[in-house]
């Protein structure tokens, strides 16, 4: 009995799988790197007076951050994740945009459509490449199929072209939003983890104050300063996460708008050029 032919995996599914694998590997790697930085760089004896990491006074920024406690490497891992996933999203969205400016590409396609030059519009898609061009080219391919179809009305053909563009968009665009949920999540947990570290630090500081007596204000001030390191790191991580998330959603919205605008032009061009047929 012959084996059934294996259905080839689509490029979109392969990209989605690769992106999921990237996220699975990136998170533990970032955690490991953050721990190593905390122990060997921030916790280096050179960052403390007399090289005493346990009881010495921090002599610089690295030592002060190290004194923030065990939650510091956790927050640092969040920061590394934001940086790594931001770079990854920039690459993915850049590839989706194609080789040239998206706005220029849309104008060229619309100009070709207005002139009835479907081959010219397809040629522009081949030059541009990327997800936006793939969706538009799919719509143009459907345009040609509908021109040779004598069984449907013009309205039905226009709807078929529109549906094809929507289906192509549904396949291409979700890839752009992958891993954005991780960046969005880091917006909240970065601040919350920082505040949690501060609370732990304040509990420790007041515990030491109660044991040492109310006159030990220097120790109290140092402990509070160290506790606030967590808040500073957490807020910094959240601020970067918010900025990058908004940048990426703005870029994705721009690409989606370009597809919608060009898709509308394709449908309208077909309807206008075939209304009397």
Task: Answer yes or no: is 56 within a domain.
Answer: yes
Task: Answer yes or no: is 237 within a domain.
Answer: yes
The verdict on 132 and 31 lying in the same domain is no
The verdict on 63 and 111 lying in the same domain is no
Task: Answer yes or no: is 41 within a domain.
Answer: yes
Instruction: Give the range of the structural domain holding residue 49, as residue numbers without chain letter.
Output: 26-67
The verdict on 155 and 214 lying in the same domain is yes
Task: Answer yes or no: is 253 within a domain.
Answer: yes
pLDDT in tens, 34-91: 999 999 999 999 998 888 888 778 888 898 899 888 899 999 999 999 999 999 999 9
What pLDDT was estimated at residue 7? 42
For the chain, what is the domain count?
A: 2
CB-based contacts of 109, cutoff 8 Å, min separation 6:
121, 124, 125, 136, 262, 265
CB 137 within 8 A of CB 262: no
The verdict on 162 and 199 lying in the same domain is yes
Task: Answer yes or no: is 10 within a domain.
Answer: no
In the predicted model, residues of the chain with pLDDT beneath 70 are: 1-16, 212-219, 222, 276-277
What pLDDT was estimated at residue 226? 76
CB 154 within 8 A of CB 162: no
Handedness of CA 182, 187, 188, 191 (dihedral sign): positive
């Amino acid at each position: 009995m012959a084996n059934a032919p294996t259905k080839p995996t689509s490029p979109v599914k392969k990209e989605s799988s690769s992106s999921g694998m990237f996220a699975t590997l990136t998170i533990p790697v970032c955690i490991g790197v953050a721990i190593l930085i905390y122990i060997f760089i921030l916790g280096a004896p050179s960052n403390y007076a007399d090289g005493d990491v346990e009881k010495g006074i921090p002599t610089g920024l690295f030592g002060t951050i190290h004194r923030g406690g065990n939650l510091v490497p956790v927050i640092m891992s969040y920061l590394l994740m934001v940086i790594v996933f931001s770079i990854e999203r920039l690459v993915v969205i850049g590839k989706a945009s194609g080789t040239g400016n998206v706005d220029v590409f849309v104008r060229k396609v619309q100009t070709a459509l207005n002139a009835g030059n479907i081959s010219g519009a397809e040629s522009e898609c081949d030059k541009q490449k990327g997800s936006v061009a793939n969706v538009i080219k799919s719509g143009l391919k459907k345009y040609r199929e509908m021109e040779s179809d004598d069984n449907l009305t013009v309205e039905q053909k226009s709807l078929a072209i529109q549906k094809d563009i929507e289906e192509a968009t549904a396949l291409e665009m979700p890839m752009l939003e992958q891993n954005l949920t991780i960046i969005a999540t880091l917006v909240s947990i970065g601040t919350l983890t920082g505040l949690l570290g501060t609370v732990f630090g304040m509990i420790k500081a007041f515990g030491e104050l109660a044991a040492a007596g109310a006159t030990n204000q220097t120790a109290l001030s140092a402990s509070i300063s160290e506790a606030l390191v967590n808040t500073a790191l957490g807020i910094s991580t959240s601020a970067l996460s918010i900025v990058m998330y908004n940048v990426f959603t703005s870029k994705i919205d721009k690409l989606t708008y370009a597809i919608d605008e060009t898709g509308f032009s394709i449908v309208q061009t077909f309807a206008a050029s075939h209304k009397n047929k």
